[in-house]
Amino acid sequence: MNEINFGFLVIDKPIGLTSHDCVSRLRKLYKMKRIGHGGTLDPAVTGVLPIALGKATKLLSFLPSSKKYEGTIKLGIITDTDDLEGEILKEHPLPNIDEKKIHECINSFQGLLQQRPPRFSSVHINGERAYSKARRGEQFELPSKEITIHKLELIEWDQENGKIKLKIDCSAGTYIRSLARDIGEELGCGGALLKLRRTEALGFNIKDSLPLKDFEDNFPYIDSHLVNPLKVLNHLPKIQITLEEEISYWCTGRALIVNKERISIEKSNINNQLEFPNDLIIVINNKGILVGVGRFNCDPFTINPKIVFNAKG
């Protein structure tokens, strides 16, 4: 495994580009086909876009799933896309709303919720994306889905211009455009997303990111910013295998029988109880290099390979 091309880059995605645009440009830069992104961002949205290089693409689904944003909602406007990129359907005069009512409103959107995705979204309907049907003017209803808003924090309420600026900590699959729409409905005047920036995704923070142009202008020296996958997999328990027999078993896809006391867990990981069968665990070799991901079973305590990076025939 080429460690130079194994890891993550953290892009601060610019406005106007799709997530796929960023991947395409990096594929040309690195001359690699195996590059993928974690967590799609709309062209109008900026911020954290994790990029996986090489075999690290196999790890995207194992990274922490929650995301954080800073967004601004414009009240008094209803659009077909639930943001200001779409066609305005209705406009309402701004009611006189004090900050206390704004707080009460956003507090009601915290916790476990049922959320209806925007009509212009990538949700599949009978094998077709919702946005394709919406562009043709078709009428359809999208079912609500369960999401979690861990925290909503008011940054600023601009009464004069009807703008609410928020910090949002939410589960994967949350549509901030839908949140803007629903908050507007709750306040009785409609609302649409004006501006959005993702500040955290898949365990990466905006402070870890660099503009896409920096990667392009400074290539290849930017490799020093390649993030070791172990840095963002530390929410999972891990085990180090050092015995030749264990390494041989792992490389050939056979289960390991291990002592539970050998499992290590980061102190910061609050879910530190190995109580559930078929849970995930990362595996490192005697040099501390990631060699794969497994699932452990508690009775007997075995680790079954799920992804093996150093596989042998």
Catalytic positions, written as ranges: 42
Residue 289 in tokens:
């290099």
Backbone angles phi, psi at 62, to 5 degrees: -100, -5
Amino acid at the residue 222: I
Task: Tell me how far apart the alpha carbons of residues 220 and 217 are, in angstroms, rounded to a whole number.
Answer: 9
Residue 21 in tokens:
């645009």
Please answer whether residues 10 and 50 qualify as being in contact, where contact means their C-beta atoms are separated by less than 8 angstroms: yes
Q: What is the DSSP string of 223-246?
A: GGGPBPHHHH-TTS-EEE--SHHH
Task: Tell me how far apart the alpha carbons of residues 40 and 20 are, in angstroms, rounded to a whole number.
Answer: 8
Task: Tell me how far apart the alpha carbons of residues 245 and 256 are, in angstroms, rounded to a whole number.
Answer: 10
Task: Tell me how far apart the alpha carbons of residues 156 and 164 are, in angstroms, rounded to a whole number.
Answer: 6
Q: What is the DSSP string of 249-312?
A: HHHTT--EE--GGG-B--TT-S-----STTEEEEEE-TTS-EEEEEEEEETTEEEEEEEETT--
Residue 26 in tokens:
């990096």
Task: Tell me how far apart the alpha carbons of residues 25 and 18 are, in angstroms, rounded to a whole number.
Answer: 11
Residue with token string 């009240």: 75
